[in-house]
Amino acid sequence: MQSLTIQTLLSKSKIVLLLVFSFLLPFNLKVQPILVVVLLLHSLLQFRKQDFHENVKRCLPFFLGFVLLFVWQFSSLLWTTDIVFGLNKVERRLFYIVAPLLFFINKDIPYAKIIKLYISGNLLLCLTGFFYLIYFFFTEKLYFINKTVEEGISQETWVYIIFHGRNNFIFLDIHRTYFSFGLLISILLLFLSKKVKFKVIFRYVSLAIMSLVIFLLQAKIPVIILVMLLLVIVGIELRKVPKKLKWIYALGIGLVLIFGLKIANPRFARLIKEATNISAKSEGSLVERIQYSKSALQLIYEAPFFGYGIGDVRSAMKKKIKELSYPEKIKRESYDPHNEFLKTLVGTGLLGFLILMTAFAMPLYLSYKNKNLILAIFLGMLALVCFVEPFISRQLGIFTALFFLGILSEDS
């Protein structure tokens, strides 16, 4: 009887840990890795061989690519010069194997509650961000408020609000692309998840809030993904709407898109201006990315098969940029290719790149086989973000990508 009580307590506390992890995931807190370790140890205490075998058979195909990628990246330490830095990078990627273990060991995962809490966490971040903006304007920009009251609202007023909104909305240590990607996942879950259903009002209010934030933050790829996702949602939702209301629904989404793109316009206008006026003296984020990409491609050409090792990507990039006389164009010295695929090629060569492609291709094939639309869209979104950020090389990206790969693999 006592043994049964202990098992019940362990089971309930494990679920609580999972739910806490899900809710806090968007916040990118330093406590997240600790939660993962505690959750894994807790799960091992309830290990059941039969459940483990069944879960491995079901889940392994979705995670196999990432497990192999971790093994190959760890192996690259053999030819890495900076072993300490390499070990640090490998440590960050431990979730490549911990995430599958969590889904292999645990049978009764509360998928619906996890999804609800993750969305709630993202909504809380959005609402807190708006309150923080109000606080910011009243404490730092009171003269602007007084001027607006006296002179009225003009075009410059909105430009000023959008500019400071973009730069001051996020009050935690979260990159705007990663923040926006979490909101995109939430929108995806709100409208396409088969595990949980939401009330219509909650779905559309949440969609409006999250879409506004994504447009306000103006991270380019997330904005493009959002537009495509909204079009997919319209296509699906229009089938459910009565014929008389279809045009009203389409008009509403159209107005959201027009308003959102108007907010994001300054960022894209600047990008277009940079792209159409590139010269030897050009500067800007696009120019920086081009220089990083050129340097990465040169490094790939020089070490195509095995790369430089996971610990030497930064040092190799820095050296190559100096060789090519690009340093004067680099304002933010991250020395990162800003592209997961290029970074993998530089660090672990062609074999690492093929394994990474397998990590995407296997679950994509299974999503097609199982008619799992939400997983397929998630993988497409993830791949697009990986073209502009080393998304699955950083903690928040790794946790988000691998955790939801497991969650959405069951959404069929």
Tokens of 287: 């120019």
Give me the pLDDT at residue 97, please: 95
Gap between the Cα atoms of 208 and 204, Å rounded: 6
Give me the pLDDT at residue 14, please: 85
pTM, 2 dp: 0.92
Q: Identify the sign of the CA torsion 206, 214, 130, 31.
A: positive
Give me the pLDDT at residue 278, please: 59
Gap between the Cα atoms of 82 and 235, Å rounded: 51
Phi-psi domain of 332 (left: phi exceeds 0; alpha: psi -120 through 50; beta: other): beta
Give me the pLDDT at residue 48, please: 83
Tokens of 227: 């537009």
Question: Would you list the DSSP string of 338-384?
Answer: S-HHHHHHHHHHHHHHHHHHHHHHHHHHHHHHTT-HHHHHHHHHHHH
User: Is the distance from CB of 193 to CB of 377 less than 8 angstroms?
Assistant: no
C-alpha 74: how far from chain center: 23
Give me the pLDDT at residue 163, please: 85
What is the DSSP code (8-state) at residue 108? -
Please name the residues in contact with 17: beta carbons below 8 A apart, sequence gap of 6 or more.
35, 38, 39, 42
Tokens of 178: 């990663």
pLDDT tens digits, the chain, 412 residues: what are they? 555 576 777 778 888 999 999 999 999 998 999 999 999 988 888 878 888 888 899 999 999 999 999 999 999 999 999 999 999 999 999 999 999 999 999 888 899 999 999 999 999 999 999 999 999 988 988 888 888 888 888 888 888 888 888 888 888 889 999 999 999 999 999 999 988 889 989 998 999 999 999 999 988 899 999 999 998 988 888 777 777 677 777 777 777 778 777 777 777 666 666 656 655 555 556 777 888 888 899 999 998 999 999 999 998 888 888 887 655 555 566 678 889 999 999 999 999 999 999 999 999 999 999 999 999 999 999 999 999 999 999 999 999 999 999 999 987 6
Q: Which of 34, 33, 41, 32 is nearest to 13 (CA)?
A: 41
Q: Which of 252, 232, 249 is nearest to 191 (CA)?
A: 232
Give the pLDDT confidence of 296-341 residue by residue, as tens digits. Answer: 999 999 989 999 999 999 988 888 888 876 555 555 666 788 899 9
Give me the pLDDT at residue 247, please: 74
Give me the pLDDT at residue 276, please: 60
Give me the pLDDT at residue 330, please: 56
Give me the pLDDT at residue 266, please: 72
Give me the pLDDT at residue 173, please: 85
